[in-house]
Amino acid sequence: SFLLTENHCPICAAATACMGLCSKELEVFQLLLGENALIERSEHIVAGARCCTYQVSPKVKSGK
């Protein structure tokens, strides 16, 4: 797994007014990294953090 960190959000001003932009950003990361990646935001600039950080790890497949 790895961390994806954005120190300078290109859409911060707009995202402050419309949180939907942040969820779309997460969707774009998911599309780029594929369905086998689990992406979770652990820090969020709009929530007061210094940066936006995403934990990216492989999805665990069930043993069916």
So what's the pLDDT on residue 1? 94
So what's the pLDDT on residue 35? 93
pLDDT digits (tens, 9 = 90+) for 21-44: 998 999 999 999 999 999 999 999
Q: How far apart are CA 44 and CA 13, in angstroms?
A: 13
Would the pLDDT of 7 be above 80? yes
Q: Where are the domains of the chain?
A: 2-58
Would the pLDDT of 64 be above 80? no
- Please list the helix, strand and coil fractions of the chain in percent, rounded to the nearest 5, in that order: 35, 30, 35
This prediction has a pTM of 0.81
DSSP 4-18: EEESS-TTHHHHHH-
Would the pLDDT of 51 be above 90? yes
